[in-house]
Structure 1
Amino acid sequence: MSAKIPQEWNQFYLKDVSFVNLMTRRIFNVLIVANPYDAFMLEDDGRVDEKIFDEYMDLGLRYPPTFTQVSTTEEANEVLKTTDIDLVICMPGNADNDAFDVARAVKADFPDIPCVVLTPFSHGITRRIQDEDLSMFDYVFCWLGNTNLILSIIKLIEDKMNIDHDISEAGVQMIMLVEDSIRFYSSILPNLYNYILLQSKSFSTEALNPHAAAQRKRGRPKVVLARTYEEAMELYERYADNTLGVISDARFPKDGVKDAEAGLKLLREIRRRDEYVPLIMESSESLNRDKAEAEGFRFVDKNSKKMNIDLRKLMEEHMGFGDFIFRDPATHNEIMRIHTLKELQDNIFKIPNDSMLYHVSRNHMSRWLCARAIFPVSAFLKNVTWHKLQDVDAHRKIIFDAIVQYRRMKNIGIVAVFDRGKFDAYGHFARIGDGSLGGKGRGLAFLDNIIKRHPELNRFDNAVVTIPKTLVLCTDLFDEFMEKNNLYQIALSDASDQDILNHFMRAQLPDSLIADFFTFFDAVKAPIAVRSSSLLEDSHYQPFAGIYSTYMIPYLEDRYEMLRMLACAIKGVYASVYYRDSKAYMTATSNVIDQEKMAVILQEVVGKEYDGRFYPNFSGVLRSINYYPIGDEKAGEGIANLALGLGKYIVDGGQTLRVSPYHPTQVLQTSEMETALRDTQTRFYALDMKHVGENFEVDDGFNILNLRVKEADKDGSLQYIASTYDPYDQVIRDGIYDGGRKVISFSGVLRHGVFPLPELLQDIQRLGADEMRRPVEIEFACNIDSDKTGALYLLQIRPIVDSKQMLDEDIMAIPDDKCLLRSHNSLGHGISEDVTDVLYVKTGDDFTAADNPAIACEIERINRKFLADGRNYVLVGPGRWGSSDYWLGIPVKWPHISAARLIVESGLKNYRVDPSQGTHFFQNLTSFGVGYFTINTFNGDGLFRKDVLDAMPAVEETEHVRHVRFGHPLRIMMDGMRQEGVVTMDES
Structure 2
Amino acid sequence: MKEQNPDNWNKFYLRDVSFVNLMMWRIYNVLIVANPYDAFMLEDDGRIEEKIYNEYMELGLRYPPTFTQVSTIEEAEKILTTIDVDLVICMPGNADNDAFDVARAIKNISPDIHCVVLTPFSHGITRRMQHEDLSIFDYVFCWLGNTNLILSIIKLIEDKMNLENDIRQVGVQMILLVEDSIRFYSSILPNLYGYLLTQSQNFATEALTKHEASLRMRGRPKVVLARTYKEAWQIYEQFKDNVLGVISDVRFPMDRNEKSLNTFLGNPPQNEKDPDAGLKLLRAIRHDNEYLPLIIESSESDNRARAEKEGFRFVDKNSKKMSVDLRHMLEEHMGFGDFIFRDPVTHEEVKRVRNLKELQDNIFSIPNNSMLYHISRNHVSRWLSARAIFPVSAFLKNITWHKLQDVDRHRQIIFNAIVEYRRMKNHGVVAVFDRNKYDRYAHFARIGDGSLGGKGRGLAFLDNVIKRQPDFDRFPGVEVQIPKTVVLCTDIFDSFMERNNLYQIALSNADNDSILEAFLQARLPEALNDDFLAFIRATRAPIAIRSSSLLEDSHYQPFAGIYSTYMIPYTDNHHAMLNMLTSAIKSVYASVYYSDSKTYMTATSNVIDQEKMAVILQEVAGKQHANHFYPNISGVLRSLNYYPIGDEKAEEGIASLALGLGKYIVDGGQTLRVSPYHPNHILQMSEMKTALKQTQTQFYALDTVNIDDNFKVDDGFNIVSLNLKDAESDGALQYIASTYQPNDDAIYDGIYDGGRKIISFAGVLKQDVFPLAQLLRTAMKHGSEAMRRPVEIEFAVNIDSVGKGTLYLLQIRPIVDSQQLLSEDLSTIPDARCLLRSNSSLGHGISDDVADVIYIKVNETFSGANNPAIAAEIEQINRKFLDTDRNYILIGPGRWGSSDPWLGVPVKWSHISAARVIVEEGLPNYQIDSSQGTHFFQNLTSFGVGYFTINPFKDDGLCRRTILDALPAEEETHFIRHVRFPSPLKIMMDGKKQQAVILLPEEN
Does residue 495 (structure 1) correspond to residue 510 (structure 2)? The answer is yes
Within the alignment, does 1:420 sit opposite 2:435 as a pair?
Answer: yes
Counterpart of 1:546 in 2: which secondary structure?
Answer: coil
8 Å CA contact 2:637, 2:793 repeated in 1:
yes
Structure 1's unaligned 5+ residue stretches are: 1-27, 29-55, 65-83, 85-416
Q: Which has the larger radius of gyration?
A: 2
Alignment correspondent of 1:570:
585
Task: Give, as a single letter, the amino acid of the residue that structure 2 aligns with 1:444.
Answer: L
Letter in 2 for 1:869: T
- The structural deviation recorded for 1:497 is 0.6
8 Å contact 2:642–2:991 — kept in the other structure?
yes
Correspondence for 1:702: 717
Q: Distance in 2 between matches of 1:568 and 1:983?
A: 48
Indicate the SS of the match to 1:663: coil
Write out aligned runs for 1:253-264 (5 A).
Answer: none
Look up the match of 2:838.
823
In 1, the alpha carbon distance for the partners of 2:841 and 2:673 equals: 17
After superposition, what is the alpha-carbon deviation per residue over 1:164-214, rounded to whole angstroms, capped at 9, x for unaligned?
A: xxxxxxxxxxxxxxxxxxxxxxxxxxxxxxxxxxxxxxxxxxxxxxxxxxx
Indicate if the aligned counterparts of 1:619 and 1:780 stay in contact, CA closer than 8 A.
Answer: yes
Matched, 1:768 2:783: yes
Task: Sort the Cα spacing of 1:628 and 1:885 in 2 relative to 1 into closer, same or farther, 3 A.
Answer: same
Q: CA deviation at 1:419?
A: 3.8
Task: Show the counterpart of 1:879.
Answer: 894
AA partner of residue 986 (structure 2): R
Name the CA distance, whole Å, in 2 between partners of 1:691 and 1:917: 35
- 1:686 and 2:709 aligned: no
- The match for 2:917 among 902, 905, 913 is 902
Give the superposition deviation at 1:462. Answer: 2.6
| Number of aligned positions between the proteins | 583
2:756 equivalent among 725, 732, 741: 741
> Given the alignment of the two structures, is residue 614 of structure 1 paired with residue 603 of structure 2, yes or no?
no
Look up the match of 1:592. Answer: 607
Contact 1:619–1:647, Cα closer than 8 Å, also in 2: yes
Q: Report the Cα distance in structure 2 between the residues aligned to 1:480 and 1:57, rounded to whole angstroms.
A: 31
SS state of the match for residue 711, structure 1? helix
Offset of 1:713 from its aligned partner?
A: 0.7
What TM-score does the superposition give when structure 1 sets the normalisation length? 0.58
The aligned residue for residue 602 of structure 1 is: 617
Query: Separation in 1 of the partners of 2:780 and 2:822?
Result: 27
Instruction: Name the CA shift for 1:703/1:478 in 2 (closer, same or farther; >3 Å).
Output: same
Is the alpha carbon distance of 1:979 and 1:458 closer, same or farther for their aligned partners in structure 2, counting shifts above 3 Å?
Answer: same
The aligned counterpart of 2:545 is 530
Contact in 2 for aligned 1:651/1:918 (Cα 8 Å): no
* Contact persistence 1:641–1:918 (CA under 8 A): no
Once residues 892 and 985 of structure 1 are traced to their aligned partners in structure 2, the CA distance between those partners, rounded to angstroms, is: 28
Structure 2 residue 489 is matched with structure 1 residue 474: yes
Q: 1:838 to 1:779 in 2, by over 3 A?
A: same
Q: Which residue is 2:448 aligned to?
A: 433
CA deviations on 1:100-138 (whole Å, 9 max, x unpaired) are xxxxxxxxxxxxxxxxxxxxxxxxxxxxxxxxxxxxxxx
Match of 1:445?
A: 460
Residue 680 (structure 2) aligned to one of 644, 665, 678: 665
- Match among 488, 502, 508 for residue 523 of structure 2: 508
1:643 aligns with 2:658: yes
CA distance in 2, matches of 1:694, 1:874: 42
Q: Determine the structure 1 residue equivalent to 2:794.
A: 779
- Taking the aligned partners of 1:582 and 1:969, their CA distance within structure 2 comes to 30
Q: Say if 1:694 and 1:947 are closer, same or farther in 2 by CA, change over 3 A.
A: same
DSSP-derived class of the 2:848 partner? strand
- Map 1:52-451 to 2 at 5 A: 419-451=434-466
Kindly provide the CA deviation profile for residues 414-458 of structure 1, in whole angstroms up to 9, marking residues without a partner as x. Answer: xxx974322101000011000011111111111110111012201
Shift of 1:539: 1.0
- Residue 473 of structure 1: CA displacement? 0.4
Residue 669 of structure 2 corresponds to residue 654 of structure 1: yes
Q: State the one-letter code of the partner of 1:834.
A: D
Name the structure 1 match of 2:959: 944
Cα distance between partner residues in 2 of 1:62 and 1:595: 36
Deviations 1:67-108 (Å, cap 9, x if unpaired)? xxxxxxxxxxxxxxxxx9xxxxxxxxxxxxxxxxxxxxxxxx
CA distance in 2, matches of 1:592, 1:974: 31
What is the deviation of 1:982?
Answer: 0.4
Q: Which residue of 1 aligns with 2:399?
A: none
Query: Residues of 2 paired with 1:939 and 1:713: CA distance?
Result: 38
Q: Secondary structure of 2:702's partner?
A: strand
Residue type at the aligned position of 1:937: P
Q: Quick one: which of 931, 950, 953 aligns to 2:968?
A: 953
- For 2:978, give the aligned amino acid: H
Q: Does 1:840 align with 2:855?
A: yes
Mapped to 1, the partners of 2:883 and 2:61 lie a distance apart of 52
Counterpart in the other structure of 2:977? 962
Cα deviations by residue, 1:332-382 (Å, 9 ceiling, x for unpaired):
xxxxxxxxxxxxxxxxxxxxxxxxxxxxxxxxxxxxxxxxxxxxxxxxxxx
Contact 1:430–1:470 (8 Å) recurs in 2: yes
1:799-843 deviation line (CA, Å, top 9, x unaligned): 000001012422111110111000000111111101110000001
Structure 1 residue 691: deviation in Å?
Answer: 2.7
Aligned-residue offset at 1:709:
1.2
**What SS class does the counterpart of residue 969 from structure 1 fall into?**
strand
1:882 match: secondary structure: coil
Q: Which residue of structure 1 aligns with residue 990 of structure 2?
A: 975
Q: Identify the residue that residue 919 of structure 1 maps to in structure 2.
A: 934
Residues 266-294 of structure 1: CA distance to partner in whole angstroms, max 9, x if unpaired? xxxxxxxxxxxxxxxxxxxxxxxxxxxxx
Q: SS of the residue aligned with 1:720?
A: coil
Per-residue deviation, 1:504: 0.3
The one-letter code matched in structure 1 to 2:516 is L
Q: CA distance change for structure 1 residues 954 and 571 in 2, over 3 Å: closer, same or farther?
A: same
Is this contact kept in 2: 1:724–1:743, CA < 8 A?
Answer: yes
Distance 1:939 1:700 in 2: 40
Measured in 2, the distance between the counterparts of 1:682 and 1:494 equals 40
Cα distance change of structure 1 residues 806 and 918 upon mapping to structure 2, 3 Å threshold: closer
Candidates 562, 567, 583, aligned match of 1:547: 562
Q: Distance in 1 between matches of 2:545 and 2:639?
A: 27
Alpha-carbon separation, structure 2, partners of 1:815 and 1:625: 28
- C-alpha separation between the residues in 2 aligned to 1:658 and 1:561? 40
Rounded Cα–Cα distance in structure 2 between residues aligned with 1:901 and 1:564: 43
Establish whether residue 813 from structure 1 lines up as the match of residue 828 from structure 2: yes
Cα distance in 2 between the residues matched to 1:852 and 1:938: 21
In the aligned structure 2, how far is the partner of 1:61 from the partner of 1:750?
A: 55
Q: Distance in 2 between matches of 1:455 and 1:607?
A: 25
Take 2:934 and 2:644, find their aligned partners in 1: how far apart are those partners? 18
2:531 aligns to what SS in structure 1?
Answer: helix
With over 3 angstroms needed to count, the CA separation of the structure-2 counterparts of 1:842 and 1:418, relative to structure 1, is closer
Aligned 8 A contact 2:444 2:484 in 1: yes
Question: Are the equivalent residues in 1 in contact too, given 2:933–2:947 (CA < 8 A)?
Answer: no
- Distance in 1, matches of 2:957 and 2:688, equals 27
Q: Are 2:736 and 1:721 aligned?
A: yes
In 2: Cα distance, 1:769 partner to 1:57 partner: 43
Aligned counterpart in structure 1 of residue 747 of structure 2, from 713, 721, 732: 732
Q: Any gaps of 5 or more consecutive residues in structure 2? A: 1-27, 29-55, 65-83, 85-431
Q: Percent identity?
A: 70
- The runs of at least 4 aligned residues of structure 1 exceeding 4 Å deviation read 60-64
8 Å Cα contact 1:659-1:666 kept in structure 2: yes
Deviates more, 1:492-501 or 1:685-694: 685-694
User: C-alpha root-mean-square deviation of aligned residues, in Å?
Assistant: 1.8
TM-score, reference length from structure 2: 0.57
Residue 469 of structure 1, CA deviation? 0.5
Give the secondary-structure state (helix, strand or coil) at the position aligned to 1:562: helix
Contact between 1:530 and 1:600, CA under 8 Å: does it hold in 2? yes
Q: SS where residue 658 of structure 1 aligns?
A: strand
